[in-house]
Amino acid sequence: MPSATSLAPADALQENRDQYKADLARTPQGDFMRPTSGRRRSSRSANGVGVQVEDTRICVVMVGLPARGKSLIAQKLVRYLGWLSITAKCFNVGNYRRTNTPQPNASFFDFSNKEGERLRRAAAQAAVDDMCKWFKLPGNLIAILDATNSTKERRRWIKDRCDREGIETLFVESKCDDEDLIMSNIREVKLTSPDYKGQDPEEAAQDFRNRIMMYERVYETLDEDESDLTYCKVIDVGAQVIINRLQDYLQSRVVYYLMNLHIKPRSIWISRHGESMFNLSGQIGGDANISDRGEMYARKLPELVKQSAGDLPLTVWTSTLKRTAQTSRFLPYEKLAWKALDELDSGVCDGLTYADIEKEYPQDFKARDADKYNYRYLGGESYRD
């Protein structure tokens, strides 16, 4: 475990505050915690969430055979983007198709079935139309078009339509030959898909396998013939990732997430650090040691973890602060410190109590209570940061 910095003495904390005195004198109370991004003047437009864009709108087009985890990836991506305060929405073509054909059998997906092809195309058209309407609303930045999109002709049609609407496209193919994962997805589908609601599980599984076979007959993977497209191919759940023609910041955020995505189930246990000396005194921030009660918690923690995790091999992630290192030191696992897990930097208020902050900065104390997520401490951070 890397060594942590020692707690700054009171005179050092005061010196840290003093360096901002001039700024505080010029800045009205109630303003010094506000994010500055809204005040910047720029020829470029901002999407209001700290990302500089020039009317950026992106359609993430899922590509892949059934049972390759496309819908799970789409749902996880929407949640991730929401965590980044980026407005995103998933348009699932299967949901549109079910309005006319709620429980079709595998023959419906036979590409020689002209009526089935017409209905599937109509569902895709309706989903894309709704997506384009959604993009016209302010602040809507990323849509995920969730479907097989299994042929080059279908992908080109989507690309051309988005080009006409001024929407960027990012094709994301989930390509998987892992039979265990495919079978796991098939079992999940037969239990949860509305297509098989009320049907015998074994018959549902066999029909779904037949559906996959229908798509395999015509499936075309993304390749050099589509080198003009922006795409990301995720092969065997991230064993290999191929990226082509990545263009901008938002696309890079999406691809970064996909490169680090785990779609197989796994568990994460989260623990707070043991009680610290600053917890006892009511001070915020700092790098205090844990208290006697914090020490008791640290010694009890291995037993609590074992009750949940058993003998699983774990990795413990902590912040770089002493209180987390001290809390985790009895855990018999590999330990890694990550500065991104450090507590919010409270800037000039570091080491103060909330009573101190209310006394020294009364308007800002109220402003922080009104909007904790967006307010930034002078010389420190906001939760949005």
Do residues 132 and 139 lie in contact, with contact meaning Cβ atoms separated by under 8 Å? no
Q: How many CA atoms lie within 13 A of 253 on its CB side?
A: 15
Dist. CA 70–CA 54, nearest whole Å: 29
CA dist list (Å): 74 to 45, 153, 190, 275:
27, 22, 19, 39
Amino acid at 376: R
Interior CA angle at 18 toward 14 and 24, to 5°? 130
**Cα–Cα distance, 126 to 363 (Å, whole number):** 51
Residue with tokens 């299967």: 94
- Catalytic amino acids? 146, 273, 343
* Token pair recorded at residue 286: 């700092």
Q: What residues have CB less than 8 Å from 196, skipping those under 6 apart?
A: 103, 189, 190, 204, 207, 208
Q: Do 158 and 128 touch, CB atoms closer than 8 A? A: yes
Expressed in percent and rounded to 5, the helix, strand and coil fractions of the chain are 45, 15, 40
Find all residues with CB under 8 Å of 53, minimum gap 6, and list them: 44, 45, 46, 47, 141, 248, 249, 250
